[in-house]
Structures are given as C-alpha cells and as structure tokens.
Amino acid sequence: MAGKNDLKMILASEGVKYLESASEKVPWSAIDGKTICLFFSASWCKPCRAFTPDLVTLYNFVKDKGENLEVILVSNDRDETSYREHLKTMPWLAIPFNLNRYKRLVRLFNIDHIPALISPSSEGNSVDNDVVGMVEDYGADAFPFTTKRIRELKAMDERKQRGGVIEDLLAHSGRDYVISKDGRKILVSDLKGKTIGLYFGAHWCPPARNFTRQLNEAYTELVTILNQPFEVIFVSTDRDQEEFISNLSNMPWKAIPYEDKTRKDLKRIFNIKGIPTLILIGPDGKIIGSNGRAIISMYGAMAFPFTETRIAEIEDALREEGERLPSKVQDPKHIHELKLDMAKGYICDACRKQGRFWTFSCTVCDYDLHPTCVEETF
C-alpha cells in the first residue's frame, strides 16, 4: 500500500499533470497538506450511485468543520462524456479520465470492487480498503478513516451495547426524544427505569406484521391494563418515510424518528441481521436479551419483566402442570384418543375459547381440548 508522500509521485508517474473539478482544471498545489481519499467509482455502478450521496454528506460536513479533506475521483465510466456527467454529481476533484490508467491504479491499490474509497494517508493499512463500509456505517463520524478512529467508533458501539445509560443508546446531542404515532415527543430521559423493547421491524415484512400484532397484545395488557413500567421503541426498516408513518399508525408505542441516524446506529450496535427482532433492555439500561420475539410470541405479557428468572419460573410451572396431567385421555366428546401436547395457541373444541401451552389433542383430526375441558376422569 502506498503512503502519503508517494501518492503524488505515483500519480505523476502515471502521467497525471493536473486534477480537475466539474468546471475547471485544478493544480496539484490545491491538495497540499490535505487528507486525500481516492474514490474509485463509475456512474453505471448502482452501489456507487447509492454511496455517492453518503460521501457528499460526509465531505460537506467535514469541510464545514474546517478539516482538510479532499476526495479525488478515479473514474471507471464508459467514456469521457459519462465521466463528465458523473463528476457533476460530486463536489470534489478528479484525475482526468483515462481507463488504462484506471486499470493500473486499481491493480496498484488492490481494488477488487467499486465503490472503493481509499485513504493512502491513513496510519495503519488495515482500514484502507474498508473505508466505504466505514462511511456507510458511521457517516461523517468515520473521518479521518484511521485505524485509531475505527477503534474509537467500535469502542463507542460496545459501550452502548453494554448499556447502562438509555440516553446514550436512544438519543444524541441533536435529539433527546422519541415520537409516538400522533406526533408527540416523549423525552428519552422519561424512559429511565422502564423495561424497554427495541423493536426492529418493517411493514413490508409479513413475519414482522404478524409479530407487531403479538407485541401489540402483550403491550396493551402490560401498559394499558396493568400499568407496568414497559415501553417499546420501534426502530423502523421501512422503505421510506411514508411506509414508516403508516406502519407506526398501528403501533401504540414509541419510535425513533425515521430520518434519524440512530436507526442505523442501533442496527449496527445490536448486529441486527433480520426482522422482526426484539431486543429487551432492563430498567438498569442493560441488555436482557435479543430473543424478545421468541419470548413474546411464546409467553406474551406473562413473561414480563422478561428476565431469565421469570422465564425459568414460567417454564417450571408449565413443566409441573404437565407432570400432573396424564399423557392420554379418552373424552366422551370425541371419538379418538387425545394425547397431551404443547401448543403456542389453539382453539378449544369444547368451550371455543383460546388455549395456550398444554392441550389434549387428537393425532388424527384437528381437535383440541383445554385440560380443564376434558370430562373424562383420568
């Protein structure tokens, strides 16, 4: 990997005599003393088009802060015309268009995919090839892209993940509230001392829609009826603001505003790989577990406050109940023998009411009885 002092030399030996912006030629002296990033990109490349606005935001933010950053486009566009159009979308500089030179630079800097953003001036080479991911993950905070900076950011993530201070996790210097569906702002500090579920979901995802209903049931029972110290914060992965608003309109709990970067931060901090996911956080701000979805869909409101102790209590009680029941019964209401079984949910064929967990179930047809609705004395 080439170092800071080599960059100009390398480009000079590649025949680059000057740089250019969208509107004019720019002399080499324009980048003296600056942190330089080479940006390998092409307008035909969809990930490049998706990444460029992130980089523009970072570039403007960092420049406004008075940092000496310069980005130099190394274009892989099809021709000079598309290169010119491409450069117009960027506030930074470029190396004059030359595809043969592009190929040589790609080899020289070990670029195996675009977009690639490398900062040959970064101390330590380990992050040099990963700056795109760093910018995608951390936005403007990624600057100046050094190994030291990535270590700091990761340490910050880990500290937030370990938890303890709910404001660190859910708020930042520009926002100290979460929102409700009617547009109310609720201070994050008011959530202190509550058990919190961070709900990662989206309306386009059928399992998430299904889980929203289950969570809604548990939430209503816990918060509206029993007045328990529980709150859910929706972290949307809806496709756009409109979908988010319509999704939130079915939720009685709170949400991180759609446009806020915390949504992305929370996904990264808790390493969210799929939705729906419910991360449970205790009243002390520390994580209880990431299996909230399974707990809620299995036990609903009775699992509150979702601690290991509470779950063990429920499971022990269920086991004891099961041990008291016979493994088979013959009930006069049904022709076949019924076997003791465990089900997440069923409708009892005697009383027509919902049942959960233990059931006497027919193995031949779809027939269930509450243990209490079995008439046969065992």
373 binds Zn ion (CB under 5 A): yes
Q: Give the length of the chain.
A: 378
Q: Between residues 75 and 359, which has the closer beta carbon with respect to Zn ion?
A: 359
Tell the smallest beta-carbon distance from residue 153 to Zn ion (Å).
Answer: 56
- The distance of closest approach from Cβ of residue 315 to Zn ion in the complex, given in angstroms and rounded to an integer, is 23
Shortest Cβ distance from residue 176 to Zn ion (Å)? Answer: 50
Q: Kindly state whether residue 370 participates in binding Zn ion, applying the rule CB under 5 A.
A: yes
Q: Would you count residue 345 as binding Zn ion (CB under 5 A)?
A: no
Closest alpha carbon to 16 in 133, 91, 108:
108
Q: Dihedral sign, CA of 113, 118, 123, 127?
A: negative
- Token pair for residue 227? 């007045």
362, 368, 371, 374: which one contacts Zn ion (CB under 5 A)?
A: 362
For Zn ion, give the closer residue by CB, 107 or 353: 353
- Piece of 140-148, 208-216, 303-311, 335-343 that binds Zn ion (CB under 5 A): 335-343
Name the residue with tokens 């029993």.
Answer: 226
Q: Can residue 365 be called a binding residue for Zn ion (CB under 5 A)? A: yes
Which residue in the set 348, 357, 358, 374 belongs to the binding site for Zn ion (CB under 5 A)? 348
Q: CA-to-CA distance for 129 and 147, rounded, in angstroms? A: 11
Q: Which stretch binds Zn ion (CB under 5 A): 85-93, 190-198, 258-266, 355-363?
A: 355-363
Q: How far is the CB of 362 from Zn ion (least distance, A)?
A: 3
Per CB under 5 A, the list member of 17, 336, 343, 375 interacting with Zn ion is 336
- Binding residues for Zn ion restricted to 159-218, rule: CB under 5 A: none
- Give me the least distance between CB of 329 and Zn ion, in Å please: 12
Whichever of 165 and 347 has its CB closer to Zn ion, that residue is 347
Q: Determine the interface stretch with Zn ion among 58-66, 71-79, 260-268, 360-368 (rule: CB under 5 A).
A: 360-368
Closest separation in Å from C-beta 298 to Zn ion: 20
Q: Residue 254, interface with Zn ion (CB under 5 A)? A: no
Instruction: Give the residue, chosen from 274, 351, 354, 376, that forms a contact with Zn ion under the rule CB under 5 A.
Output: 351
Closest to Zn ion by CB, 103 or 333: 333
b/e map 262-293, b = 16+ CB within 10 Å: bbbbbbbbbebeebbbbbbbbbebebbbbebb
- Is residue 332 a contact residue for Zn ion (CB under 5 A)? no
Please state the φ and ψ torsions of residue 88, each to the nearest 5 degrees: -65, -25
- Scanning 100-108, 123-131, 151-159, 356-364 for contacts with Zn ion by CB under 5 A, the matching segment is 356-364
State yes or no: residue 328 binds Zn ion (CB under 5 A): no
CA distance 367 to 359: 10
Q: Which residues lie below 8 Å from residue 272, measured CB to CB, with a gap of 6+?
A: 200, 266
| Candidate ranges 184-192, 233-241, 261-269, 333-341; the one touching Zn ion (CB under 5 A) | 333-341
Least distance from C-beta 239 to Zn ion, angstroms?
A: 43
Within a 10 A sphere around the Cβ of 193, how many other Cβ atoms?
Answer: 12
Phi, psi of 164 (to 5 degrees): 120, -40
User: Cα 57 to the chain's mean position, in Å?
Assistant: 20
- 364: contact with Zn ion by CB under 5 A: yes
What is d(CA 127, CA 168) in angstroms, rounded to the nearest whole number? Answer: 26
User: Which parts of this chain interact with Zn ion (CB under 5 A)?
Assistant: 336, 348, 350-351, 362, 364-365, 367, 370, 373
